[in-house]
Amino acid sequence: MANKKNNYQFEDLLDKHQLKKTSSRLRVLSMLASKNVATSQPDLEGVLGDVDRVTLYRILNAFEEKGIIHKVFDLSGTANYAMCSSDCEENHHHDEHLHFNCTVCKNVYCLDDQHLPGVVVPEGFKTEAVSIYATGLCPKCNKKSTAA
Amino acid sequence: MANKKNNYQFEDLLDKHQLKKTSSRLRVLSMLASKNVATSQPDLEGVLGDVDRVTLYRILNAFEEKGIIHKVFDLSGTANYAMCSSDCEENHHHDEHLHFNCTVCKNVYCLDDQHLPGVVVPEGFKTEAVSIYATGLCPKCNKKSTAA
DNA sequence: AATTATACTGCAACATTATTGCATTTATGT
DNA sequence: ACATAAATGCAATAATGTTGCAGTATAATT
């Protein structure tokens, strides 16, 4: 899996972006990399336990600025965070993302590798980034609902 | 303009959805209909002045449930509201919306009539709705930046 | 027009998500 | 080991959104 990185790789990642290698940061990275769905700040806070809320926000913001992670809002407007695919660079994220928010389990799936169609905006608008957001049933919940 | 409606039309709209015709609701409707950009709850609150925050939230939620307006989150995760195009029905919104969030003026433009390409999701996912979200410069801010 | 039932509103309190300032601690280069 | 800059934790505050309940307005009935 492209996003699967071991701890040395996380340290390199922090080095590369001139971020200090603290245990909190490494834990956030391995946490996010281990999931194929975006994670909300509250969820992260719950898992990380003893990391301060504020620190977590600051870590997430720093990572986002550096292009290590990206932020996506779920159906209820809460920010969720996920690792960027490798071709994201500082302040220059991959232009198009496909996110899928399951209406049952509420998970936000990042489907960055999916082919996306070009989007045409009206004359006068200048597009910098496009994100496509689908809602519905994820494979897991879809299976359950058809089985029932 | 398709969304331009007079007060009688707003009253009809409320009638149709079994909502009582209160002045607050009529003001919210005419406010939203007069703009081609989505409006945040704080902005609405500011304009409407003496309508209670809670009432406003409840009006917006009621309208959303009835399919009169729809909610879209801007870059900072704040909910913005806009009139639905006429083919939205109760609990069955138009499947695809194109929204454009200007990075300068922060306005969220609803471009519902724009032709949208089909989006392909991976095997197993079952899409219920798709919304496409573009960020960049709106015509007004684009003009200003090229002029400067 | 008065009465009544229901829906709506406003207030207070609370919940959640996010930010700022500052003192303390930690990481890292020398 | 030391110095410095960065990162953290705590307290306080802000912004956004929700809930309960009492009072008020709407609209149907008579």
**Distance in Å, alpha carbon of B10 to nearest chain A alpha carbon:** 28
Contact of B25 with B13, CB cutoff 8 Å? no
A147 interfaces chain B, CB cutoff of 8 Å:
no
- A74-107 burial string, b = 16+ CB within 10 Å, else e? beeebbbbbbbeeebeeeebbebbbbbbbeeebb
Count CB atoms within 10 A of the CB of residue B15: 11
pLDDT confidence of residue B14:
93
What is the pTM for the complete model shown? Answer: 0.81
pLDDT confidence of residue B3:
34
**Distance in Å, alpha carbon of A95 to nearest chain B alpha carbon:** 10
Alpha carbon distance B91, B66 (integer Å): 7
Task: Determine whether the distance from the CB of B53 to the nearest atom of strand D is below 7 Å.
Answer: yes
pLDDT, tens digit, for every residue of B92-134? 555 677 889 998 888 899 887 777 777 788 889 999 888 888 8
Q: Using 50, 70 and 90 to split pLDDT, how confident is the model at B75?
A: confident
Strands A69-73 and A79-83: antiparallel
High-pLDDT (> 90) share of chain B, %: 41
**Distance in Å, alpha carbon of B18 to nearest chain A alpha carbon:** 26
Task: Identify the sign of the CA torsion B49, B50, B54, B58.
Answer: negative
Task: Determine whether the distance from the CB of A77 to the nearest atom of strand D is below 7 Å.
Answer: yes
Residue of A nearest to B96 (CA): A134
Q: Using 50, 70 and 90 to split pLDDT, how confident is the model at B4?
A: very low
B residues 25-64 closer than 8 Å to A (CB): none
pLDDT confidence of residue B28:
94
Question: How far from A39 is each of A24, A36, A101, A128, B13, CA to CA, in Å?
Answer: 16, 9, 12, 25, 39
Q: At residue B60, does pLDDT exceed 90?
A: yes
Higher pLDDT: B82 or B36? It is: B82
Mean pLDDT of chain B: 84
Compare CB distances from A142 to B119, B124, B132 and report the shortest one's residue.
Answer: B124
Q: Using 50, 70 and 90 to split pLDDT, how confident is the model at B30?
A: very high
Of the candidates A45, A40, A41, A94, the one whose C-alpha atom is nearest the C-alpha of residue A67 is A94
Distance B43 CA to D24 C1' (A): 26
Q: At residue A130, does pLDDT exceed 50?
A: yes
